[in-house]
Chains A and B, each alone.
Chain A
């Protein structure tokens, strides 16, 4: 396949059906004895299509990990729906077990997700045993998964323990554990956050090759916009429980329209061109999501008076820009951006 050379257009046709989808998904948490409800995911529509890599980016606490866990069936949505190949995700134990064979999770921090007392072989075979029991071809399947994850020759790694390996090798073991069941979708939560830059590139290259060679779809949850530029086809930017901007990587990262996306990109230290937009404070608590546009209290466009001059400041403070739809075109949840260029307003 020659997917990587095709430049700006994504490798997945826009008409391809979604393999994994969220519709008006909401996940709320209530602390013990607390009245306040944390709206961790507060209305999200998102599609991951076959063979597509989608990056879900946002800061700590924006709800991106909760959204990923809900897509995996690890959290039950308060409202809305997760569908896989068009069918709603069932939450009975048997349904979930079958689902989790096809949609696999790759966790951040391989030190935490590998059992220090299990060999590499056992770590990778565990998923097989859970789903199929001990099978005759177990050894071959473990070896195949390890070599697909770049640990070759696989037999050399069978009897190693996590502490005998480097951070990059451990992350490859975690990925091999996901691959051994031949899943269709991988959900990776910060797959390279704890790795050195040199190793990071190697692991991202592996994820990209798995898509090219096996047609794997992936949802990659990250705070790293450079990661999205490196491997993703589409990117969704999340702020306080909602996707505030979505589109192809080229559109969102080189021509960002939401003030939040613009600020995030402006503070990246590498290859900076303009004056950084440093937002003050930290995102509010999801128990206290501001009314109107949820970003308005920190928005540089509103603070600078630009929104006032455009005559929309009142809407920013009082009117919710709404939920972006899952259609694969660039969209932004911002009164100012949609008022300015008139394209891609939600709803």
Chain B
């Protein structure tokens, strides 16, 4: 059975200007021990999905659909049950650890707090456990006495991961866990996450604007646009040979060093995502789509099978008129070959 199953999730923000649909019917599944990546531009709804999984959204958000965590619907849980599920059933690692940590508490106390709240342990036991967790994430246990400002960005992100592991959850939701970190620190953190998830048999949902990081880290990948998943499938395949025109444009925006096609040729995607209060008719990607047709103004495509284990929401996929573009091969001039 899937550990996480999201069915037709909708999130609408009530605003003074009227309802804003941020998430418009999202289905996701995460098998035990597997990693799902959710990619997309700012405002596509990916962080809203992450927060909805643990019902962490503000009161102005109206939720619909189901979020089944181990078969139990998070959206209809009573508060007491929800508090037990947060941290112990699923926990979250936020982006920007500087703001997510409390600046005036020692990091050891912050890691120990959920342990104390959840499980009949003494302060001394919780403190000992916090020290163990710090060592698991590659920091000396003695750093428990440090305040967040005394740590580097990478170290703070390690602390966030230690906190997320504190109550031994079965699912971790990581929202942009390495954004704003240097590439070497990012590689350290991603390797750490990978090892911990493997050791503990945890499932993960990782949110990022960086398709390349998700393709490298996750098993499956979902690409969101304007509040919907427009493409999903095995991560490496979705990155290498996307079927949806949006997935193709997003993938092409990541340069591959050594690839002559991107040398002196940066590629982006003109235009901006649509205003959720004024979505275009038909396919919401139509105004920015390079291959839009007349019918795209009338048909709002849903996810449709697009190869083994893959789905894409585009009319061309639906009627089979699109062939997958040739998978981009690894650059000829690979780093290792040049030595």
Contacts and interface: CB of A to CB of B under 8 A. Distances in A.
A251 to B, nearest CB: 10
Contact of B268 (A59, A198, A231): A198
A282 B152 contact: yes
A310 interface: no
A256 interface: yes
B129 interface: no
B11 to A, nearest CB: 21
A166 B272 contact: yes
Nearest to B249: A198
Nearest to B153: A60
A269 B42 contact: no
A254 interface: yes
Contacts of A4: 264-265
Given A262-B335, A271-B257, A282 B154 contact: yes
Nearest to B155: A282
Interface residues of A, number: 49
B338 A59 contact: no
Contacts of B262: 229-230
- Identify whether the interface residues of A are mostly helix, strand, loop, or mixed: helix
A266 B336 CA distance: 9
Interface string B152-173: 1110000000000000000000
A230 B265 contact: yes
A75 interface: no
Interface string A251-267: 00111100000111111
Contact of A278 (B153, B184, B252): B184
B250 interface: yes
Contacts of B258: 229, 253-254, 271
B184 A271 contact: no
B246 to A, nearest CB: 9
Given A223-B183, A267-B186, A276-B187, A198 B269 contact: yes
Contacts of B211: 197
Nearest to A263: B184
Interface stretch (B60-68, B102-110, B198-206, B326-334): B326-334
Contact of B256 (A199, A201, A270): A270
A272 B334 CA distance: 8
Contacts of B303: none
Contacts of B270: 202
B215 interface: yes
A225 interface: yes
Interface string A208-222: 100000000000000
A339 B225 CA distance: 52
A33 interface: no
Contacts, number: 143
Interface in B233-277: 249-250, 252-259, 262-270, 272
Nearest to A53: B264
Contacts of B254: 197, 226, 270
Interface in B210-235: 210-213, 215-217
A16 interface: no
Contacts of B190: 269
Q: Which of A168, A267, A269, A271 has the most CB of B within 10 A?
A: A271
Contact of A282 (B185, B257, B269, B334): B185
B72 interface: no
A237 to B, nearest CB: 12
A197 B334 contact: no
B191 interface: yes
A201 B264 contact: no
A14 B328 CA distance: 34
Contacts of A265: 257, 335
B155 to A, nearest CB: 8
B187 A278 contact: yes
Contact of B215 (A167, A202, A204, A269): A269
Contacts of A280: 188
A225 B257 contact: yes
Interface in A96-117: none
A4 B260 CA distance: 11
B187 A197 contact: no
Given A59-B183, A229-B255, A263-B184, A199 B334 contact: no
A191 to B, nearest CB: 11
B268 A267 contact: no
A266 B252 CA distance: 20
Nearest to A233: B264
Contact of A201 (B183, B267, B333): B267
A255 to B, nearest CB: 4
A196 interface: yes
Interface string A1-33: 001100000000000000000000000000000
Contact of A274 (B256, B265, B334): B334
Contact of A200 (B217, B253, B336): B253
Interface string A271-309: 111101011101000000000000000000000000000
A205 interface: yes
Nearest to A223: B182
A160 B125 CA distance: 58
Interface in A53-73: 59-60
B209 interface: yes
Contact of B188 (A202, A227, A274, A278): A278
A279 to B, nearest CB: 6
B300 interface: no
A60 B182 contact: yes
B331 A271 contact: yes
Interface in A318-342: none
A36 interface: no
B132 interface: no
B41 interface: yes
Contact of A197 (B210, B256, B257, B330): B210
User: Which 6 A-B pairs have CB atoms at the shortest separation, nearest pair first?
Assistant: A201-B268, A204-B266, A274-B336, A269-B216, A267-B187, A198-B269
18 contacts: A59-B182, A59-B185, A168-B272, A196-B42, A198-B41, A201-B252, A201-B267, A202-B266, A226-B256, A229-B263, A256-B335, A264-B183, A265-B335, A269-B212, A273-B331, A278-B184, A278-B191, A282-B154
